[in-house]
Structure 1
Amino acid sequence: MKRFIFFLLIGIGISASAQDLTGIWRGNFKGEQARYLEALGQESRYKIELQVDQSAKAFSGVTYSYLTTVFYGKATCRGTVNPSTGKVFLEELKIVEVRMSGRSDACIMTYFLQYSKIGNEEFLEGSYSSMNTTDSTSCGRGRVFLRKVQTSDFYKEPFLLKKEAEKKPPIAKAEPAKPAPKTNPETKPNTGTAKTTTTTTKTPTGTKTTTTTKTTTTAKSSGTTKSTTTTSSTTKKTEQPVVKPAIPQPLTSLPPQPKLDTIKKVDVKPRLTLPTPKVISSRQNELVQTITTDARKLIISIYDNGTIDNDTISVYHNKKLVLSKKRLTDKPLTIEIELSEEDDLHELVMVAENLGEYPPNTSLMVVNAGKKYYEVRITSTEQKNAVVVFKYEKPK
């Protein structure tokens, strides 16, 4: 049994020395109070995502800690890996983005992990400790489990995109084919036999000419050679077939025409031109983003971006009021928009009705466009509205 464990540890060490942490790792972590929270019916398991770039025994990257992709904390990180043991140390350096609700505190985390590989799956598992960034008090300890994945719940960092581009094989250029080497015909010795050559040529007038050349070489005992050449030509005339031009036949009937009752009339209703609301015409309107999509239907969800502080907005769709003085929370305000070739341009204007407790008025727009999602971070004030434009493009 001990021998088996010894070989197993050797296998893990070899795997760790050959691995590369570069990529995306996703999993979850549980704190010491997990059982207490579960007893109260609260969520005890938080999600975590790492995006790291390894160079030799060190690496750097970013971390995400979140319950959903709407409310999360993002931090920069760095760490080291021991190739011989597979031990991984990772520490968060600085929180660069926070979106949280209520009175939540942001905490910096430190991880102590062990790398392992089973088949094609790679794992990081271990413990963590955390510290409050406000007063340096402990946020608790717990366990963490991560698995290497191909996709991100957020977006791939530029350093990962650069790595992927470097790994793509170069496009092979086709080399021109080399010409076949020329070969000289073998020269046979003169054996004194007769050689007959027949040549056939065809003249442009269709006359076929055959020429036969016969050469006889005779060797004499005196060392002299006598050569006699006889040439005969035969001309044979062949007639070319006469091709008669095709005579166009008159049309006996017209092609079938569609019946009047089979033609469908498409009524395109022009969009009504609405007057510009005063709150739009009297304020500056800043274009935040233009989204081009081939989706016929958009589902737009709007949340408070950051701390929930009573931000209130109104939303206009093509100058029509669709949301009036709605408070932003962690629950979405939803708008649905239908797109078509006839009605391909849509404009949403976000108007700040107040600045909340912490100005300015900020919101997060999440756009579900078929198989694609877009996130738009919006800032509006009492002097400036935020505009998002959606443009329909027919699938290619």
Structure 2
Amino acid sequence: MRLIVTLFCLLVTFFAAPAQKITGVWRGYFMQRDYDPMSRSFVEDQYNYEVQINNELAKDAIEGVTYSFFTTVFYGKASMKGVYTRNTKTLVIKETKMLDLKIGDNSVPCLMTCYLDYSKAGAKEILSGTYTSVNTSKKQDCGSGTVYLEKVPESKFKKEDFLLALEKKTKGNNKVSALVKPQPNNTAKATPQVKKPAVVVPPAKPVTKPPVVVYSTPKSNPAQPQAIKKPATTNNKATNSNPASAPVVLDNEVPRKSTQHTIESTDKPNMQQPREAPVQKHTPPPPPELVQRMDQLVRTIEVNEPDILIEFYDNGEIDNDTISVYHNNTCVVKDGRLTYRPISVKIHCAEPNEQHEIVVVADNLGDIAPNTALMVVTVGKKRYEVFLSTTEQKNARVVFQYKPKN
């Protein structure tokens, strides 16, 4: 009986906590990048974005709704469908129809297609990637950009019926698992009484009266209470605090010299040769600058040549923007000042399907916020230009996937 109850509880727990799914509410933003012919530069607008996902369907299919809004200027709700590939943790969301819309007279609604990657940073679940969009009427290109979402418990809008049904089901399963507990077995068999062997008393021998023996009790000191050692107190605040931020170093305390893993920009005409990023057998843990700030995936570039040259310029007016650059969690540029002369980094890909991540961190916002940079990538005869925008809360990440020619 006890075995059956235990198995039942395990089954309830198993179905109450299914395998990794992405069903729930995801909220964040998407950045739309448009070219402004007046300023001859790209302009980014940030829109609020919420996605309610139902992943309780057959295989890896998903469905749900999306909410896009930009203060009181724009609001839109759309239905969506997609596919979640668990092996690669990639997600494709395609908005199919506008369900509700509030928009200005001179604007047109667009439907988005998002290409997202699932990741986890501690307890935080993240969907990040890129998107494209088309006009709902003429099917023309509506622009593209990046998406960043985090899983949250509540929605800013009405929760869809599938989420409410799932919450109700989950609460019911939790009640069943709490009610069904192994009961003590009151029908246990009585312990058989063990008969004590009969003690045979030998016949007493005639003895004389035994002498009287007086036992003297030795005087002892009063028992001292045993000292109880208290466990050493630990500083819980220090243990549970967030990772310490990097120490603040004043400019006049550190000479402007390059270290083994450091590259700095210079305004002198004789520039240094591009420093090669160190070859890493194992990726080290991320430093605090990468953990404490939001990580925005800007672009993924597939390369088929092993050598990659990366150059960073100031995108626009020189306004004293400085950046730090990390290659696979290792700092290769520290406090590099962005100018018209590039900050150069070289990467060598050794193994097929090797992935290299470049994360750009804003050390300051310069004279004009945000911190903007132009990243020029040269791979063989191919050239890529990536526009980066970073703040003191958000980093920019570019991923290189090496797939050599056959």
With structure 1 as the length reference, what TM-score do the two structures score?
0.38
Larger Rg computed on CA atoms: 1
With structure 2 as the length reference, what TM-score do the two structures score?
0.37
